[in-house]
């Protein structure tokens, strides 16, 4: 499916309330922006994500002992918080519907991740992103955080009304960071039109082959709750999820997965991906 998001598209409210994040992160598929049009793939416009690169280089602690990347929230300097807010403001001020599809995809992923990090910083210290929101355990995903082309936008809007319905790519779940230890890692650099495909593939391989993604216990398969919450995105059945996992699994895991026919259970660690835990 090709196209862009129209300048006059109305967001509106999500059709159905999300389930409690501690039990299920996934909201039902919401109504996408209704006036989505094909973008001009020849557009020369590009977006500068260097500020996000600089923030990640300074504060993302990668390759820790357990293989999980973390953000050094406690160390973020005031001037770097300001730089992050300026970067987000820059993205919010762009006429994103004038950009080609590949630029839009990188834009939305980077914006989602930058907004998530800024939201945590605004409420830090917290033990979990679930502690942020109108009530404990709700999380910040439904709060309107930014204006884009005249519309108020939330994290759920980006994920459920833009990325999931218009790109229909299960690898998106590896690009979006939920600021939790159970989440796929925050990418160490900004996504860009020329690198998004490669980065999503790399993120998929890293997550699938980690204990967070898939693990065997007594020859029973346990997976990240992401594959249960969003099972429809991965094909709709346990068998489809298994096929997806095998596509990115290393040989040893792939061999073990070949003996499986169903998912035995799922889990997700909502502890904040905070470098202070190291």
pLDDT above 50 for 252: yes
pLDDT at 277: 60
Beta strands (DSSP E) in 155-226 are: 214-217, 220-224
- Asked whether the beta carbons of 75 and 125 are under 8 A apart, the reply is no
Q: What's the mean pLDDT in 235-244?
A: 98
CA distances from 104 to 42, 167, 214, 246 (A): 13, 11, 31, 29
pLDDT above 50 for 273: yes
pLDDT above 80 for 65: no
Helix axes 238-248 and 196-208, enclosed angle (nearest 10):
110
In whole angstroms, give the CA distance from residue 139 to residue 3.
31
> Average model confidence (pLDDT) for the chain?
88
pLDDT at 34: 53
pLDDT at 1: 36
pLDDT at 27: 56
Q: What's the mean pLDDT in 62-86?
A: 93
* pLDDT grade for 150, boundaries at 50, 70 and 90: confident
Task: List pLDDT tens digits, range 206-228.
Answer: 999 999 999 999 999 999 999 99
How crowded is residue 19: how many other Cβ atoms within 10 Å of its Cβ?
13
% of the chain with per-residue pLDDT over 90: 76
pLDDT above 80 for 242: yes
Give residues with Cβ within 8 angstroms of 253, minimum separation 6.
Answer: 208, 209, 214, 245
In whole angstroms, give the CA distance from residue 263 to residue 216.
10
Q: What's the mean pLDDT in 100-117?
A: 97
Work out the angle at residue 12's Cα, subtended by the Cα atoms of residues 8 and 18, and round it to the nearest 5 degrees. Answer: 140
Task: List pLDDT tens digits, range 166-184.
Answer: 999 999 999 999 999 999 9
pLDDT at 18: 32
In whole angstroms, give the CA distance from residue 207 to residue 20.
24
Task: List pLDDT tens digits, range 2-35.
Answer: 344 333 332 322 222 233 344 456 554 577 765 4
pLDDT above 50 for 97: yes
pLDDT at 137: 79
pLDDT above 60 for 276: yes
More confident residue, 35 or 232: 232
- Asked whether the beta carbons of 209 and 250 are under 8 A apart, the reply is yes
pLDDT above 90 for 132: yes
Give residues with Cβ within 8 angstroms of 58, minimum separation 6.
Answer: 80
């Amino acid at each position: 499916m090709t196209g862009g998001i129209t300048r006059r598209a109305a967001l509106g409210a999500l059709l159905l309330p999300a389930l409690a994040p501690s039990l299920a992160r996934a909201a039902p598929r919401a109504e996408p922006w209704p006036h989505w049009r094909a973008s001009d793939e020849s557009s020369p416009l590009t977006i500068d994500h260097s500020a996000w690169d600089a923030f990640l280089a300074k504060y993302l602690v990668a390759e820790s002992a357990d293989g999980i990347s973390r953000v050094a929230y406690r160390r973020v300097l005031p001037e770097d918080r300001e730089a992050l807010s300026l970067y987000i403001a820059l993205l919010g001020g762009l006429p994103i519907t004038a950009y080609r599809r590949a630029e839009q995809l990188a834009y939305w992923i980077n914006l989602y991740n930058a907004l998530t990090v800024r939201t945590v910083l605004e409420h830090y210290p917290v033990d979990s992103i679930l502690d942020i929101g109108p009530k404990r355990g709700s999380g910040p995903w439904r709060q309107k955080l930014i204006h884009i082309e005249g519309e108020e936008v939330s994290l759920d809007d980006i994920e459920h009304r833009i990325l999931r319905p218009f790109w229909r790519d299960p690898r998106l779940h590896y690009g979006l960071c939920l600021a939790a230890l159970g989440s796929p890692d925050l990418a160490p650099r900004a996504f860009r039109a020329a690198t998004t495909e490669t980065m999503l593939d790399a993120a998929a391989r890293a997550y699938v082959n980690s204990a967070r993604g898939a693990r065997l216990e007594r020859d029973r398969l346990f997976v990240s709750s992401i594959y249960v919450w969003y099972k429809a995105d991965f094909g709709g059945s346990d068998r489809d999820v298994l096929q997806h996992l095998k596509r990115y699994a290393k040989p040893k895991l792939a061999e073990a997965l070949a003996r499986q026919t169903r998912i035995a259970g799922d889990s997700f660690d909502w502890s904040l991906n905070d470098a202070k835990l190291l």
